[in-house]
Amino acid sequence: MANRLGLFFVVAYSFAMVNVDFAASLQRHKPCPPQSVAAGTLASVLTQAFAAEPGLRHYVLDDQGHIRKHVAVFINGAMHQQRQRMDLDVADQAKVLVIQCLTGG
């Protein structure tokens, strides 16, 4: 679309974005800097984040695509309790933190 001076206007589209951060304990195995990915289900958000470092998927998810027992996922500061529920919607501007849980005695 041109105005009277022949200049063109660019229309910027904003996408719903989610910030995903992996704790240092996971980055020790596979480096993965914080990322902004498109909002969607928890499964789609994590899949997009794994694109930067595909090997990290194995540390976070099991063979069925569920969150491993030694991993915790926080969405806006609240721990995601249902490891098998990956269809949870993650809203625009959410902050997702993936950490490795400490175990042992």
Give pLDDT tens digits for 32-42: 889 999 999 99
Tell the burial category of 40 from Cβ atoms under 10 Å away from its Cβ (0-12, 13-18, 19+).
Answer: middle
pTM for the model stands at 0.81
Give how far Cα 75 sits from Cα of 7, 13, 29, 98, Å: 44, 25, 22, 9
Q: At 9, is the pLDDT very low, low, confident or very high (cuts 50, 70, 90)?
A: very low
17-100: CATH topology is Ubiquitin-like (UB roll) (3.10.20)
What pLDDT is attached to residue 30?
A: 82
Question: What mean pLDDT comes out for the span 2-13?
Answer: 48
Per-residue confidence at 11, pLDDT binned at 50, 70, 90? very low
Q: How far apart are CA 2 and CA 66, in angstroms?
A: 50
DSSP class of 9? P
H or E stretch at 105: none
Distance CA 87, CA 77 (A): 18
pLDDT at 46: 96
